[in-house]
Chains A and B, each alone.
Chain A
Amino acid sequence: MVFNDPLQAINPAGMGSAEVSRREFIRLAGLGGSLVVALSVIPGRVSALAPKNDRSAALNTYVEIASDGQITILAPNPEVGQGVKTSLPMIVAEELDANWNDVVIENAPIDAERFGRQFAGGSTAIPMRWDELRTMGAIARHVLLQAAGQQLNVPIEQLSTQYSIITHAPSGRSVSYGDVAQQAAKLALPKPENVPLKTPDQYRLLGKRITGFDNHAIVTGQPLFGIDTVVPDMLYATYVKCPQIGGKAVSANLEELKKRPGVRHAFIMDGTVDIAYFNPGGVDMYSGVAIVADSTWQALDARQYLKVEWDTSKASTDSWSALVEQANAIADAAGAVEVEHKGNVVKALNSSSTRRRSQYTYGYISHAQMEPQNCVAAWNSNGTIEVWAPTQTPQSAVASLAQVLGIEENKITLHQIRAGGGFGRRLDNDYVREAALISREVNAPVKLQWTREDDMSYDCFRPGGFYALEAGLDSKGKLLAWDNHSIAVSADGKKPNSSAGHWKTDFPGQMLKHFRHTQTLLISKTPTGPLRAPVSNTYAFAEQSFLHELSDAVGRDHVEFLVDALGEPKWIDKGNIRSLNTTRAIEVIRAVAKRAGWGKKMPQDRALGLAFYFSHAGHIAEIADVSVDTSKKVTVHKMWVVADIGPIVNLSGAENQCEGSVIDGIGVMMSQSITMTNGRIDQQNFHQYPLLRVNKRPEIDVHFVKSDYTPTGIGEPALPPVAPAICNAIYTINGERIREMPLSNLGYSI
């Protein structure tokens, strides 16, 4: 059984699918004879099923143009809410000079040879694809021009393009892209270096606000996400793991379960690890009990009757309160291992006229992406498998499946499919491996559905940890030395767990003669992984709060203090956009101060707080307008975000990411906390893990500084400054320095 297209495999019996939107109808109607074919497949999802009209012509890897003018552009990277399904094709369309209304976007197949690395992580898609996609658009445009020149019998220098039309100004004649696409497809592609790219002042599309390509399907509820995938004869599975992380299923009342309504199979899977801590990015999988039924509900219902005997001899025994105790006992000293040291920190601290030391603590958190993990896998008896996975890393999913299943990678077909949020959780493909192994075991297509409780208990959490920071300043209040003792979790006591601890950062260490980073590891087996702006999302809180402690200690204005700490104009690693550029940093700090009216008189119990952070190639400064009452109730009235991420691709998408980062940052900072007791996660669902709701949203002002560096991503870097900006404002109001997240642990509420 092979389904080449996930959407063809979706059950067309759905009642809602009988409706075709007017927009799609118009698009279809333009395809003439293709209309019938399209409607018989699955109405309502035709936009992504753009029928391959036999007159459509592939101009290169990314661009295909039909004779009716429809332009299909492939989106190479997974869409998880960061907007790349729209923004990456916009880059192609800009150089192509396409009319955006002619454009239909399809997910590219997973194919490293044609599309290179296909993943969603590190806010890298835009900078990684920038040159490639512009070139693809320009090459396609070039062959269209050549074909038009031949057809009109004029030199191509006399031709111009705009909105999918090629015009010969001297004669007033014009042809459309559709008219010449067939001819263009026969021409040899030019060498990229022979095709000029536009300069930013020539952009018609980039920098505009473009609504997401899938928005129509989203607002009409069409099948779109991993969880929406249906394939013929599919069964529905739930997979129950040990509440104490890493416990192994020894036995279960499987026969009893098989008698429950709709249950077809119930069996134990050993998993691939027998240690508690696993490598989520690799091939590891936890032991558990699979229940496979005729519907999701029947599987979940049967689960209530499941009784399992677990072997917890090697399971996690982690406890968050114990980790806090251990950290508090050692935070005053330097760390066990020296990670980095320049100058002589101890001497510099001893000779400084003002000296501060503070310990910052941050808890574990869960990704809580809105769509609980799920995956459809269809094992075939000939030893091949087809998988529909809402993953951020489709290529490593294939590699890990090959290992787990013991088959060649070319026996695996994996379809990338829109994911309901990622935030780093879907970099790890544990749920994909589970689905594949269950499908092979029952020899049928299976949709594995995690519950929210499964998702929250077996996340690859953002690790909790500690930073003890110490700094010295001279008699003029200038920063002299910086010492960071990071206390991080580690499964083996040798290296920090994924995304735990602290990486080298440029600021303020690079600006100082005396800088030290030491580290101590605490044993913990709770699985961890990257979460939106990993490490930065905790280090920014400590660093930027501590810098405010310092400016306050010496009585300096915080804007001036930060600008002074950044020092002379300097691009740390010149030419590398992922290194700090102090000119850009100072510009965003000054700009946000201006927009927010920094220094203005504020009402009683209300203040502005400022933070700057550089991560993921983004220079971002934020100011929070906050009030706090005597019962420690916090109101965030407004947030100003000023970012320099180079030229903007999709302005609406970029603003949306900044707005979302502010909401995310406030929610995490105020009240999100994952704790564990003897290896069990204490929080199971949203009633114990509150996400920020609409009535707590601040007004958000987003501004992008104009700059002509390579454009970079904005899925992550606007998050880190949120918490310290707000905490700095709280200090200014009530004098209480916040050194722990979430603030609910300190009696604050929002």
Chain B
Amino acid sequence: MSKITINNKDVDLSGVDPNTPLLWALRDTLGLVGTKFGCGIAQCGACTVLMNGQAIRSCQARIGQIKDANITTIEGLADDEGKLTPLQQAWIDHDVPQCGYCQAGQIMSATALLNKNANPSKDDIDAAMSGNICRCGTYTRIVAAIESAAAQSNGGDAS
């Protein structure tokens, strides 16, 4: 198996069945339980992580097929001192979560969006976030948090 780096640490998954979806390797083998199981069929986005900066559904990625990949999970966003990214902070400031279960996936999709588009339009946000279901219906706040994090990163007024 080739090398997988997760949250900037090399991990050894050699003992794990290569057919295992990354989602379950993260959760059960590595104890990274922030990435969530919602549907298992690429419909809900709860399991979203970044692979080389792109948002992917970890329930669909078999670890045996992941080659030389750099994976970032929700646990790997804040820096070593625990400083949150502007998106994570915006999520708290806007009190986005209700049950909170979908939110790791939402934040990972939003992170991928802002990585490649620092100033997304509403349509860009809709397009990037439409693969993530929030059963509790926090969409208004998700969009507001993304806009405010983007504004802040661009030096604008976050409010």
Contact = CB atoms under 8 A, between A and B. Distances in A.
A223 B103 contact: no
Given A16-B76, A219-B103, A420 B36 contact: yes
B91 to A, nearest CB: 5
A220 B34 contact: yes
A657 interface: yes
B133 A686 contact: yes
B121 interface: no
A558 B80 CA distance: 59
B47 to A, nearest CB: 12
A228 B97 CA distance: 17
A13 B43 contact: no
A83 interface: yes
Interface string B74-97: 111110111110001001110111
Given A370-B135, A371-B101, A694 B143 contact: yes
Interface in B10-42: 11, 17, 19-21, 24-25, 27-41
Contact of A220 (B9, B37, B74): B74
A32 to B, nearest CB: 19
Contact of B75 (A15, A23, A692): A15
Given A662-B137, A663-B137, A80 B82 contact: no
A372 B84 contact: no
B116 to A, nearest CB: 18
B138 interface: yes
A219 B92 contact: yes
B130 interface: yes
B126 interface: yes
A81 B136 contact: yes
B52 interface: no
A262 B29 CA distance: 13
Contact of A209 (B32, B95, B99, B100): B95
Identify which of B11, B29, B133 gathers the most chain A CB atoms within 10 Å of its CB. B133
A368 interface: yes
Given A209-B95, A298-B17, A370 B40 contact: no
A502 interface: no
A21 interface: yes
Contacts of A215: 91-92, 95-97, 100
B100 A221 contact: no
B114 to A, nearest CB: 15
Most-contacted residue by chain A among B20, B76, B82 (CB, 10 A): B82
A371 B7 CA distance: 24
A686 B43 contact: yes
B65 to A, nearest CB: 15
B29 A295 contact: yes
Contacts of B135: 368-370, 421, 423, 664, 691
Interface in B125-156: 125-127, 129-130, 132-143
Contacts of A216: 92
Contact of B98 (A220, A221, A656): A656
Contacts of A19: 75, 78, 80, 82
For the side of the interface on A, what is the size category?
Answer: 35 or more
Contacts of A423: 135
Contacts of A685: 39-41, 43
A661 B137 contact: yes
A397 interface: no
Interface centre among A24, A81, A82 (most CB of B within 10 A): A81
A389 to B, nearest CB: 15
Given A13-B31, A24-B82, A660-B137, A686 B17 contact: no
Interface in A207-237: 209-212, 214-216, 218-225, 227-228, 230, 236
Given A370-B101, A370-B135, A694 B43 contact: no
Given A24-B82, A370-B136, A451-B40, A656 B95 contact: yes
A419 B36 contact: no
A423 B43 CA distance: 20
Q: Which of A219, A368, A420, A692 has the most CB of B within 10 A?
A: A219
A418 interface: yes
A297 B37 CA distance: 12
A486 B139 CA distance: 35
Contacts of B73: 16, 221
B1 to A, nearest CB: 16
B80 A224 contact: no
Given A81-B99, A296-B27, 12 more contacts: A19-B80, A22-B82, A81-B97, A218-B97, A221-B35, A225-B100, A297-B21, A297-B25, A421-B99, A421-B135, A656-B141, A697-B137
7 contacts: A219-B88, A295-B20, A372-B38, A418-B99, A663-B134, A692-B139, A694-B134
| 6 A-B pairs closest in CB distance | A221-B34, A16-B75, A663-B137, A420-B101, A81-B99, A14-B31
Interface of A: 11-17, 19-25, 80-83, 209-212, 214-216, 218-225, 227-228, 230, 236, 261-262, 295-298, 301, 368-372, 418-423, 449, 451-452, 652-653, 656-657, 659-664, 667, 685-687, 691-695, 697, 699-700
Interface of B: 6-7, 9, 11, 17, 19-21, 24-25, 27-41, 43-44, 46, 73-78, 80-84, 88, 91-93, 95-104, 107, 125-127, 129-130, 132-143
